[in-house]
């Protein structure tokens, strides 16, 4: 017997955190009974229905995806926009994104049907580095780089990027290229860091997640993670 939210995550339906939200919203039914108590335990031998969908155990799958610009990181979109799952029509399992990249942000995104893995990768305590390259308006100065490195308060929390480097400036076009490595998992973190020092982000690309890179992939392409890579990511997260 396991906690119900853990079973739902293991089924690949959603992350454990999302499962807890659905339970609180009384959208989970076990053996005909609505369950909202987070301490409730069950097993896959029980009939578990989430939002009207019968769930069952699935073999876990893990993907690395090169997200294009103009694609949303959701399983569906009420505005009819293209979603990351449109690139996974050949995958039979119910997978979903691990975290999100903004609509206009490109680069490395993980997808899985392993809710426990997804939750671990997204948890702030895991502190897995994410490497971004940002093209911003204006000329970024050395003092501004130092200011970002010194830490900036976002959402009542002091944020310290792992690395900030001014890569290139274009005085004719009045733009700059900045490399930033973060690990806090704050929404729109890179954009907010740059806005703090007066620069709007024009383009943003995530080039690495931990040791994973986009090597060998073109925009819109994907590949499965190896068992070794999955184990490495889990070890990185739990050993922080």
Could you tell me the domains of the chain? 2-54 (3.10.290.10), 62-125+211-238 (3.30.70.580), 129-209 (3.30.70.1560)
Hey, how many other C-beta atoms are within 10 angstroms of the C-beta on 178? 25
Residue 11 has what pLDDT? 84
**pLDDT tens for residues 121-155?**
988 788 899 999 999 999 999 999 999 999 888 88
φ, ψ of residue 234 in degrees (nearest 5): -65, -45
pLDDT over 70 at 217, yes or no = yes
Question: Do 15 and 114 contact (CB within 8 A), yes or no?
Answer: no
For the CA atoms of 21, 24, 25, 31, the dihedral, rounded to the nearest 10 degrees, stands at 110
Q: Which residue of the set 78, 86, 102, 156 is catalytic?
A: 102
pLDDT (average), residues 57-85: 91
Q: How far apart are CA 237 and CA 181, in angstroms?
A: 16
What is the band of 80 on the pLDDT scale with cuts at 50, 70, 90? confident
pLDDT (average), residues 54-81: 90
What is the band of 232 on the pLDDT scale with cuts at 50, 70, 90? very high
pTM: 0.81
Pairing of the two strands 201-209 and 105-112: parallel
pLDDT (average), residues 222-234: 96
What is the band of 32 on the pLDDT scale with cuts at 50, 70, 90? very high
pLDDT over 70 at 99, yes or no = yes
Q: How far apart are CA 100 and CA 73, in angstroms?
A: 6
Question: Do 66 and 26 contact (CB within 8 A), yes or no?
Answer: no
pLDDT over 70 at 64, yes or no = yes
Question: Do 236 and 209 contact (CB within 8 A), yes or no?
Answer: no
Residue 240 has what pLDDT? 63
Half-sphere exposure of 126 (CA within 13 A, CB side): 20
In the annotation, is 102 catalytic? yes
Burial 86-125 (b: 16+ CB within 10 A, else e): ebbeeeeebbbbbbbbbeebbbbbbbbbbbebbbbbbeee
Q: How far apart are CA 90 and CA 157, in angstroms?
A: 41
């Amino acid at each position: 017997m396991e906690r119900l939210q853990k079973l739902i995550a293991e089924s690949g339906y959603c992350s454990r955190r999302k499962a807890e939200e659905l339970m609180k919203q009384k959208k989970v039914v076990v053996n005909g009974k609505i369950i909202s108590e987070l301490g409730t335990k069950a097993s896959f031998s029980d009939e578990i229905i989430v939002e009207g969908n019968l769930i069952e155990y699935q073999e876990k799958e893990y993907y690395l995806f090169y997200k294009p610009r103009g694609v949303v990181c959701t399983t569906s979109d009420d505005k009819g926009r293209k979603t990351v799952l449109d690139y996974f029509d050949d995958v039979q399992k119910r997978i979903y994104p691990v975290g999100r990249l903004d609509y206009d942000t490109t680069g490395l995104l993980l997808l899985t049907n392993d809710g426990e893995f997804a939750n671990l990768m997204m948890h702030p305590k895991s502190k897995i580095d994410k490497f971004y390259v940002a093209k911003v308006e204006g000329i970024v100065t050395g003092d501004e780089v130092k200011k970002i490195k010194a830490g900036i308060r976002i959402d009542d929390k002091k944020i310290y990027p792992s690395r900030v480097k001014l890569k290139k400036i274009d005085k004719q076009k009045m733009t700059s290229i900045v490399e930033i490595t973060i690990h806090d998992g704050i929404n729109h973190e890179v954009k907010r860091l740059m806005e703090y020092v007066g620069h709007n982000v024009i383009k943003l690309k995530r080039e690495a997640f931990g040791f994973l890179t986009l090597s060998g992939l073109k925009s819109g392409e994907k590949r499965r993670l190896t068992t070794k890579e999955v184990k490495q990511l889990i070890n990185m997260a739990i050993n922080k």
